[in-house]
Amino acid sequence: MRKSYSNQLRLDSVPIEQVELNLESRDRIVPILRALQFLYLDRRLVDEILQWIADDVNSDSRTDTGRTGMEYWHICVLAAVRLGCNFTYDQLQDLAENHRKLRAIMGVGD
């Protein structure tokens, strides 16, 4: 029962394309978040990438039953940040819970 991404904005979040990133920052996560933000604007490409993720995640399970899991967009964002920044899973979990810009790009909000 996973979804690609939610079209409905949460009350505590801004649209992904309107997330303001500090492009002067030298932190390694900022270019990755900017690339994801740019990618999100191309719906056709996003749908294709999310379909690849769906095929991989649901290779041996049914997509029409079960509980709601993480959206494919969340999986894409977390995978890009983990691999792009060479984070451990513990570092990624901490960022996913506390980094406001990462959460905004995920569409999760505060």
User: For position 83, what pLDDT does the model report?
Assistant: 96
User: For position 69, what pLDDT does the model report?
Assistant: 75
Provide the residue ranges of all domains of the chain, joining segments of one domain with +: 32-59+67-106
User: For position 4, what pLDDT does the model report?
Assistant: 58
Splitting the chain (110 residues) into consecutive groups of 10 residues, what average pLDDT does each group show? 60 82 93 95 93 86 71 94 96 94 87
User: For position 70, what pLDDT does the model report?
Assistant: 83
User: For position 14, what pLDDT does the model report?
Assistant: 83
User: For position 5, what pLDDT does the model report?
Assistant: 60
Contacts of 74-83 with CB under 8 Å at 24 or more apart are: 74/106, 74/107, 74/108, 76/36, 76/49, 76/50, 77/36, 77/102, 77/105, 77/106, 78/106, 80/32, 80/35, 80/36, 81/29, 81/32, 81/33
User: For position 21, what pLDDT does the model report?
Assistant: 93
